Chain A
Amino acid sequence: MSDKMVEIRWHGRGGQGAKTACLLLADVAFSSGKHVQGFPEYGPERMGAPITAYNRISEGRCTIHSNIYEPDYVVVVDETLLTAVDVTSGLKPEGAVIINSDKSPEELKPFLAGYPGKVATIDAGRISEEFLGKNIPNTPMLAAVVKVSGVIGEEQFLADMEQSFRHKFADKPQVVEGNLQALKKSMEEVKVGS
C-alpha cells in the first residue's frame, strides 16, 4: 500500500485557495476510487501568510496522521514563496515541484536550493484570468498537478471535474465551460524542465 502512496505538499498564501485545491484533489482522487487524505496545517491564520496543505493518495487506507516531510510532489501556488519558504525541503529527487509562474523552469531553478528533480511551471494566474475572468489559480494548478504527477488519469480527471463543476455551479452553468477550458489549457501549457 505505502509503496504506491503519493504524497503532495501544497504551499500557498492564506486566501489564495491552496487548501481548497488540496481538498479538490482529494475529491477527484476519491472519485477515481482511491483512498485519500486532504488536510491543511493551521498556524496563525491571516490573509497572505504562508500556509501548507497536504494530500496522501493511495490504493489502500493510509493510517498515518502526521504532516508530510518527504513529499513526492510539491505545489507552489505563489511564486513569491520561493524566497520565503524552503519549498523543496525533503522533496524526493524523482518527484517534481510545480510552480505557478509565468517564468520558465530554468529561470526558477536557481531559487530551489539545488533541487535536482523536475521543475514544472504553469502560468495559472493568466489562464484563470483568460478563462474565468479573475485570478483564482487553484483549478488550473490542480490540472497541472494531475498532468505532472499522473496521480489520476487525465480523462477521468476531466470527467470528474466536469461533473463536480456542474454540481457546484448548478445555478450558473455558463461558468462550467470556462472552468473546463482552464483545466485543459493548463494541461497543455504546463512546462516541465529537467
Chain B
Amino acid sequence: MAIKDRLSGNEAVAIAMRQINPDVMGAFPITPSTEIPQYFSSYVANGEVDTEFVAVESEHSAMSTCIGAQAAGARAVTATSSCGMALMWELLYVAASDRLPITMALVNRALTGPININNDHSDSMGARDTGWIQLYSENNQEAYDNFLMAMPIGEHPAVQLPVMVCQDGFITSHAVENMELLEDEKVKKFVGEYQPENYLLKKDGTLAIGPYGISAYYMDFKMQQVEAMKQAKPVILEVAKRFEELTGRSYGFFEEYEMADAEAALVIIGSSAGTAKAAVDQMRKEGKKVGLIKLRVFRPFPMEELAAALSKVGVVAVMDKAEGFSNAGGPLFADVRSALYDLENRPKAINYVYGLGGRDIKTTDFEAIYEELFRILKAGVTGPVYRHIGQREE
C-alpha cells in the first residue's frame, strides 16, 4: 500500500534520499534547494541513514566530494540550484567523462544577472552538453519518482552516467501537494545496491580514474560517452516499466496529453505543463483539438520518438523556460525543430521563451498561445518563430 502524504517537492526528494540511504552526500546550501540537505542532515543526525554527510565550503567541493566518493566505489548524491551548479561546472564534465553515476537533485532556479532566486531552467539548460542525463518533473510526485528511477538508470552497466533530477524551484520545491510515497523496503529493493564493476577501493583491481587523455585517445573517450547516452534510452524505458509494475505510475521519455487527434500542440518541460494541461482541458470542452507533450527526458534527447509524436499535428509551439541569446530560439526549440526536420510533412513550429526568473504563466496565457497556433494554421504562414511571452512590453 502506497503511503498517502502531502509534502513539498524538497521534502519529497529528501525522503527519497533517506529511503535510498546513499553512502555519501556532499552538499552546500543554496536557495531553493537548501531544504534538501537540511532535511537530509537531520536524518543523518537522527541515525535514520548511515550516509557520510560532507558539509563542504562550496559547490565546487560538493561535486568534487561526490566524484571522489563515487570513484572510490560509493554511491554519492548532492542537491543544488542555479549559481551553485554553475560553480560545479568543470566538475560536471569530470563526473560524466569519468563515468561516475552520481545523482543530483537540481532545483531549477534562474542564473544571476540580475540576481534572482526564482524558477527558470537556465541552470540545467546551460548544462545540457555536460554529458549528464536530465530528467524533469512536473510536480512533487514526479520529483520523487524520478529520483527513485535515477540510480537504476545511471548505474546500469551499459550507461554509467550521472543523472540530474530537476524540479522547478519554489513552484514545486516549496509547494505542498498530495502525493504517494513507497515504503522504505520497496524503495531499497527497487533501487538496489550500487555494484560497480571497477572502483578505486576494489581490493584486487588496478584502476586510474581521470588521467590525461591525449589526442590519440580523447575522442574515443567521447565516443564511449556518446554510446552510453545512446544506451541510456532503452534503460530509461526498462526502469520506467519496472517502476510502473511497482507503483502503477507510467513514465516514458515524454508524456502525451490529448495528442491523439491534436491539430495544435505544445512541447513543454516542468511544472508549467500542469498549467497548460488545464488550458487543454478547457479548450477541449470548447471542441478545439489541442494537446501537449511534456518532455521528461531532455538528455538523452528522444529525437525520433518526439518527431513521431508530432508528425500528425499542423503546428507546434515549443516552450523554453531559458533564454539562450542565440537570436534563433531557446535550447528546447533548437532540438525539437531539428527533430522535426526529417518528417515528410512536418508541422510549422514556433518558439516561446517564457517564465524567466519566476515570471508566472497562467492557463489564459496558454489559451492565447493555442489561439495563435490556430491563426498560424489557418493563415498557413508561420510568421516570427522566436517569440517571448509574459514580458511587460512586446
Contact = CB atoms under 8 A, between A and B. Distances in A.
Interface string B111-155: 000000110000000000000000000110000000000000000
A64 B366 CA distance: 12
B272 A37 contact: no
B139 A63 contact: yes
A149 interface: no
Contact of A40 (B6, B174, B275): B174
A27 B6 contact: yes
Contact of B176 (A2, A37, A67): A37
Contacts, number: 64
Contact of A65 (B6, B118, B171): B171
Interface residues of B, number: 27
Nearest to B257: A63
A61 B358 CA distance: 23
B252 interface: no
A174 interface: no
A65 B172 contact: yes
Chain A, interface size category, equals: 20 to 34
A23 B176 contact: yes
Nearest to A63: B274
A115 interface: no
Contacts of A69: 362
A63 B178 contact: no
Nearest to A61: B178
A66 B139 contact: no
24 contacts: A2-B278, A23-B176, A27-B176, A36-B6, A36-B177, A37-B177, A39-B174, A39-B176, A42-B32, A42-B117, A42-B170, A61-B178, A62-B278, A63-B278, A64-B363, A65-B139, A65-B168, A65-B171, A65-B175, A66-B272, A66-B360, A66-B362, A66-B363, A67-B362
Interface of A: 2, 23, 26-27, 30, 35-40, 42, 61-67, 69
